[in-house]
Amino acid sequence: MATEAQLVDALRAGDEEAFTALVREYHPSLIRVARIYVSSLAAAEEAAQETWVGVLSGIARFEGRSSLRTWIFRILTNIAKTKAVREGRTLPFSALQDPARVPEAAVDPDRFLDAEHPRWPGHWSLRPEPWPEDALVAAETRERLEAAIEALPATQRAVLSLRDVEGWSSEEVRNALELSETNQRVLLHRARAKVRAALESYVGQP
């Protein structure tokens, strides 16, 4: 596997295979993140396409002060934010910068410790029981999981997808989306709780 420096060199040299592999790996995630800001899938696709144009035109100036992945997603968020401003959308910005102030249906608060808990603020008050393995691997369960993720507000869907589906670290998500640690934690916590709640009735766990 090429190192990031080798990949950057290949992109600067116009290596089409390296660029195609990069698009294949990140394009779906770019669209998910773009949906935070813009109002339609078509606009998100457009933002992702413009991002790849920006990558090609800007790779010569990439200085490596962040990871290549973070740099790509920063280009995406800047493009998507500009489109959102043109659309007059403001909720996505407030939902990212202060998610606790955005009204939405709440998960039962009794299931979690108080936000001021000295050791585990906002964690489960009782650890949920493991779900049966056969239920977790069932095709219907996977479909319900995908549907539950798609039903999340865009901000929560993007954070959960990057952390739990793509396997990004907390720091990578914060840098790419320009989030504080607290706001990322709030968004991820809400998303995970909603997805779990959506699956509980199917797998039969309280």
DSSP the chain: ---HHHHHHHHHTT-HHHHHHHHHHHHHHHHHHHHHHSSSHHHHHHHHHHHHHHHHHHGGG---SS-HHHHHHHHHHHHHHHHHHHHT--HHHHHHH-GGGS--PPP-GGGB--TT-SSSTTSBSSPPPPPPHHHHTSHHHHHHHHHHHHTS-HHHHHHHIIIIIS---HHHHHHHHT--HHHHHHHHHHHHHHHHHHHHHHHT--
Query: For position 158, what pLDDT does the model report?
Result: 85
Mean pLDDT of 6-25: 94
Query: For position 21, what pLDDT does the model report?
Result: 94
pLDDT one-digit tens code per residue, 125-158: 655 555 555 544 556 777 888 888 888 888 888 8
Query: For position 138, what pLDDT does the model report?
Result: 59
Q: What is the pTM of this model?
A: 0.68
Question: Which one is predicted more confidently, 101 or 180?
Answer: 180
pLDDT one-digit tens code per residue, 60-100: 999 888 899 999 999 999 999 888 888 776 555 556 666 66
Question: Which one is predicted more confidently, 43 or 98?
Answer: 43
Query: For position 206, what pLDDT does the model report?
Result: 46
Question: Which one is predicted more confidently, 119 or 180?
Answer: 180
